[in-house]
Structure 1
């Protein structure tokens, strides 16, 4: 799901940036792959990491001619890449590691008209 979100966000961002720069994208493919140890994720090995430990994002783009008749060059591609990275919300969220708070509230049994609640909180 995380990789799907990254692909979707970066693809939409790339298209918006390309349009703003006047770079004619004819077609393209965005792929993401990650390293995941299922022993940690499935709780089989407590020492194995849970979640992705590495992510690789790749764009394969076919461009048309720019309005002035020229082709997309290395400088155009470099600018497109930097701005896509800068403005992709999912990518930047992963790179900058936001502070995350988790709250879990569970209702307990009711005694004498008073409902008991239990709570768990974590901050990362």
Structure 2
């Protein structure tokens, strides 16, 4: 089971308050596994997940983004 939750101020996203941030201020992930693995193995699994998860790395690491506009 994977649970994801986060802190988001919709006032910024909806443009209601210009001082409110747009986007998540915090994201929490929880993994619940049905396994007999020991704590060391689970710790290694979490370490590898944090290292190689494309979504997690994209969120956690500054990503270069380019936005352009063009007319027809």
TM-score, normalising length from structure 1? 0.56
2:4 corresponds, among 27, 32, 37, to 32
| Aligned-CA RMSD value | 0.9
Shift of 1:106: 2.5
Instruction: Tell me whether 1:73 sits opposite 2:45 in the alignment.
Output: no
Give 1:9-28 correspondences, 5 Å limit: none
Q: Which runs of 5+ in 2 are unaligned?
A: none
TM-score, normalising length from structure 2? 0.93
Shift of 1:95: 1.1
**Distance in 1 of aligned mates of 2:10 and 2:71:** 29
SS in 2 for 1:44: coil
Q: Which has the higher strand share?
A: 1
Segments of 4+ moved more than 2 angstroms: none
**Distance in 2 of aligned mates of 1:32 and 1:86:** 18
| Equivalent residues, number | 72
Structure with larger Rg: 1
SS in 2 for 1:91: helix
CA offsets 1:56-96 (integer angstroms, 9 cap, x no match): 01001111xxxxxxx41011001111011111011011111
Q: Which runs of 5+ in 1 are unaligned?
A: 1-28, 64-70, 108-124
